Chain A
Amino acid sequence: MDKSLARFIWTHTWRQQIWILVVVALSMIPYFMALDLPKQIVNGPIQGKGFEGAGAMQPFLPIAFDLPFIGSVRLYAGFPLDREQMLYALSFVFLFLVVVNGLFKFYINTYKGRLGERMLRRIRFILVDRVLRFPPFYFRRVKAAEVASMVKDEVEPLGGFIGDAFVQPALLGGQALTALVFILLQNFWLGMIAAVIVAAQIIIIPQMRKRLLRLGRERQITARQLAGRVGEIVDGIGTIHIHDTSNYERADVAARLGHIFKIRYDLYQWKFLVKFLNNFLAQVTPFLFYLIGGYLAVRGRIDIGQLVAVIGAYKDLPSPLKDLIDWDQARQDVQVKYQQVFEQFSVDRILAPEIQALSREPSPPLGAPLTVSNLSVADDSGATLVEHISLRITPGERVALVGTPNGGADILAETMARLIWPAGGRVSIGDGDILELPEAVVGRRISYASSDPYLFQGTLRDNLFYSLKHAPLIDRTYEGPDAQLAKWRLSEAEKAGNPPYDVDADWIDYASAGAGGPGDLLIATMPTLAAVDLSKDVLELGLRSAIDPARHPHLVERVVELRAAMRERLEEEGLDDLVVPFEPGAYNREATVGENLLFGAATGRAPSRRELAADPYIAGVLAADGLDRTLYGMGLDIADQTVELFSDLPPDHPFFQQLGFMTAEEVPLYEALIQKLSGKPYESAAAEDRARIIALSFAYIEPRYRFGLLTEEIMARVVEARQRFYEGLPDDLRDAIEPYDPEKYTAAASVLDNVLFGRIGNNQAEGPERVRALVRGVLEETGLYDEVLDVGLDFDVGVGGRRLSVVQRQKLDLARAMLKRADFVILNRPLLALDQRQQESIMRRVLDGLKHEERNPAVIWVVSSAAMARFFDRVIVFDAGTLVEDGTHETLSNGNGTFSTLVSR
């Protein structure tokens, strides 16, 4: 990146800038011809000049020049036309020129626009590229939202300016100069007056605009800071609520907005003052022409024709001049913005691009040991975190790093992972400092997991395999129009200085995960998921998701088999009544009345029960045999009993949790409704009230609420209504609901619902837990376990992985650190959210899992409790930032140093 914007633009676009200058110059020819033509049309065919005699002809389109010394040269004598013909011919020539001018304009504008957009793309890419290369300590000082606002908003105006950067001044300057020269030629003194005023304009106005620029810069910085603060509020919303500081934040935001307002208001005032002055100067010139020119004319020193020509020529001067001054302001404005951004992104010790160079070659295992020599690390204030640490870890070693609370074991781990840069000494592999080795080596051969992992928004799969995406290893092949598009994308990327990597290519390094390709990646991953105890979580997520039938054809094809297996399993265990299956012609007692009526899953957003009850089609279906009346009566009964039970309770009473069909806030509402409706005939109830009451019936499950309201007769009628519902289903509803079919997969329902195809008995002790265990068993039996796991991996983890629990996130981070099959696996208290017993059981499995690989990597584990060190060959103990003990677990625990005290504590 160049410090000067003009040079930056010229370096990257000089060819295009010259081309556009040439095109603009060419476009002047038809432009001036079009200006001249109206005069010819009016004078010639319209006023009849040259067509005086009857049948007079004039040549059309003669090509002739008057050249100096040679005289008149006639290349083409022209085509003789009479007056009327000439009118048509010239008019069509005019139309033709209009089109040509338009096309020129179109081409020039598109060209400039494209040029600007390409440069904008280049700048943005350069900025993000630099963010990727910033040294780690820099991120402790910048706010993410500020960086984002710079990349997104602040460089935006540059795109618009770049196309005009060189063309505009050339064009406008040329126009202004022409007009000025013309005036000078008419009359020297009048020309001088114009020149002086123009000079004043050119000198004074930019001077005054300096203040505008300063204000503009302030506006930019304050707006960026505002973006940073808003980002902080979003990130820290929990803390704000906890401490009741929302009003402090309001005050802060209001103060910032006030400051921004002041700057912007100043800006406006000054801007319009400058404008006023500019306009005044432009208008004062004609005044001088009239006064002085008139005086000269009266005195007979200049003839009137000259004066009129000067005033006429002056008309063309202010507008290009004004545009030129505007251009200059835009230039200074973007220059300031550019410099601002440039300074923010010019960081000391930025990583050299070579360190992050893309490498498609697999990185060979590192045979050399990891050496820490005389390492010191300091924090931002300069306080020492660890010092004088020297140690050596050979491949295949299992090392536990144990530390007192501020011992520094975690700092050492972070330094080994390049998250902190040392203040002195170095960490090296063989002879190479890890900070100087390419990331293609250290990023693949060293893996790291901590208790505070970052997950990107995307699926669980994206995050799990994130550690394998170093390079686009398998190019994606495109066909037909896509190939065209891919080619275009590639060439555009090249023109804007972006890398040619295809984000849609397959970036996963299957070989390093021990898989042959996409087909067996999941199988290769399973042991890792099991080792970190994540399989069950993923399966659970899979069971709760709805799938895309096209992506998981096995599940869809085998769902009938799966349901049968599930039923068989339930019968084997004598648990037939644990799940009550859906049967098309029967009422399912464990489901709500509403579910029994619709007997299907909503394809989009599930409508509320009140919306269902108010739906005219459903109301019609119910009314056909008076079921609406029955359900209305039942709903009134439910409302009555519920209000009686709950009306005295405060809204925060825990009993309300058990009330599935009414919220605490709705109780008084229904109380009023009962008073209004009781004793009145059904017909007199308003449609809205009816819907409210019937909605209660829709939520009713007899075994759960036990009011004794649902008789066999009502159930039979609901089933009949179901039939009616599906018989006359209008098209819009047909797409909104997918009926339950024992022979078919219900795409709108979750995998679990599809396997069960029924409802878990409400009265079954620990029903859901037992069913889940059974489902797991059945999936394993039928070989569909992997498939559901695969579904679970499609789960969207949310922003920063927040839809997963902390435990799940930590397990995921550990899993992906293992997947990479590095030579040095650094684990920095990776499972802090678990209790010690769980941590140890996962630790044992992870150590085992890593050992059984052919490569046998070194494991460097910062343990969260000294007792866990017993699983390791070697233990290194840290206290107050220094290494105090280093030896086998046996020797250290038998000694009486820091470690034995830590263990016995």
Chain B
Amino acid sequence: MLLKDEVGMLKRVPLFSGVEPGKLKLLAFTSDRVSYSAGQVLFRQGEEGDAAYVILSGTADILVETDGGQIKVAEVEPNAIVGEIAILCDVSRTATVKANERLEALRIRKEHFLRMLRENPEMTIEIVRVLAGRLSTTTAELSAERSRNH
């Protein structure tokens, strides 16, 4: 996959949809293209986060460690971005991400990602939107869970 194809992929990630193609190309160029084999871990829960990943091909499981063992909370597909939370707010990784099959991703370093946000307000707004959406889903799930337990 060439740089220009990666730009096309990035364009389809909601977070980057509002960013002009020139900037996206720069982002793609300065990110590392990494490939993982099935079962290889992108990052582990509890580690310090230093990069976000845009999945270019393949799928990965998002796993959370609980007292009862590892549970799978979601699966990510191409065009998804993972690991951005840990680099946004300096917390350790909240989940483990493990490749399901052969997986290609763009690894965006923390400082590059933050720089992009600073230079592209539309990206920041998009991030807020995605995070707010996630928060409301999580809240809804949590209250559903609580009402089920009670």
Contact = CB atoms under 8 A, between A and B. Distances in A.
A40 interface: no
Contacts of A764: 34-35
Interface string B15-30: 0000000100110111
Contacts of A646: 26
Nearest to B37: A574
Nearest to A658: B30
B42 interface: yes
Contacts of A261: none
B115 A654 contact: yes
Contact of A763 (B22, B34, B112): B34
Given A654-B111, A655-B112, A706 B1 contact: yes
A700 to B, nearest CB: 13
B33 interface: yes
B4 A645 contact: no
B35 A763 contact: yes
Nearest to A575: B37
B35 A765 contact: yes
Interface string A569-602: 0000011000000000000000000000000000
Interface in B85-144: 104, 107, 109, 111-112, 115
Interface in A758-814: 761-765
B45 interface: no
Interface in A651-677: 653-655, 658-659
A706 B6 contact: yes
Give the interface SS of chain A, mostly helix, strand, loop or mixed: loop
Contacts of B28: 706
B57 interface: no
Interface in A625-657: 644-646, 649, 653-655
A707 B3 contact: yes
B74 interface: no
B73 interface: no
B26 A763 contact: no
Interface residues of A, number: 22
Interface string A210-251: 000000000000000000000000000000000000000000
Contacts of B26: 645-646, 649, 655
A653 B114 CA distance: 12
Nearest to B25: A645
A470 to B, nearest CB: 47
A703 interface: yes
A765 B40 contact: yes
A63 B3 CA distance: 108
A703 B33 contact: yes
Nearest to A770: B40
Contacts of A705: 3, 29
A708 interface: yes
A761 B3 CA distance: 17
Interface string B40-72: 101000000000000000000000000000000
A646 B36 CA distance: 29
A893 B32 CA distance: 53
Contacts of A703: 33
Contacts of B40: 765
Contacts of A707: 2-3
A655 B115 CA distance: 9
Nearest to B26: A645
Contacts of A708: 2-4
A765 B3 CA distance: 18
A761 B115 CA distance: 27
B35 A645 contact: no
B29 A658 contact: yes
Contacts of A575: 37
Contacts of A649: 26
Contacts of A574: 37
Contacts of A659: 30
Contacts of B4: 708
B31 to A, nearest CB: 8
A658 B30 CA distance: 5
Given A653-B115, A654-B111, A706 B30 contact: no
A697 B116 CA distance: 28
Nearest to B34: A765
B30 A763 contact: no
A560 to B, nearest CB: 28
A761 B104 CA distance: 14
A654 B104 CA distance: 24
A766 to B, nearest CB: 8
B88 to A, nearest CB: 17
A704 B3 CA distance: 10
A655 B42 CA distance: 22
Nearest to A767: B34
A644 to B, nearest CB: 7
B99 to A, nearest CB: 9
A704 B106 CA distance: 12
Given A708-B2, A708-B4, A644 B42 contact: no
A708 B31 CA distance: 16
B147 to A, nearest CB: 42
Contacts of B112: 654-655, 658
Given A645-B25, A764-B35, A765-B40, A655 B3 contact: no
Nearest to A659: B30
A574 B102 CA distance: 13
B112 to A, nearest CB: 6
A765 B33 CA distance: 9
Interface in A696-745: 703-708
| Residue of A574, A655, A765 ringed by the most chain B CB atoms within 10 A | A765
Nearest to B114: A654
A764 B36 CA distance: 7
Contacts of A704: 33
Given A706-B6, A708-B3, A765 B115 contact: no
A763 B115 contact: no
B101 to A, nearest CB: 14
Contacts of B22: 644-645
Interface in A519-558: none
A659 B26 CA distance: 11
Interface string A860-892: 000000000000000000000000000000000
21 contacts: A574-B37, A644-B22, A645-B22, A645-B29, A646-B26, A655-B115, A658-B112, A703-B33, A704-B33, A705-B3, A706-B6, A706-B28, A706-B29, A707-B2, A762-B32, A762-B33, A763-B32, A764-B34, A765-B35, A765-B42, A765-B107
Interface of A: 574-575, 644-646, 649, 653-655, 658-659, 703-708, 761-765
Given A645-B22, A655-B30, A706-B33, 8 more contacts: A645-B25, A658-B112, A706-B28, A708-B4, A762-B32, A763-B34, A763-B35, A764-B34
Top 7 A-B residue pairs of the complex, sorted by shortest distance between their CB atoms:
A708-B2, A658-B30, A706-B3, A765-B34, A655-B30, A645-B26, A654-B111
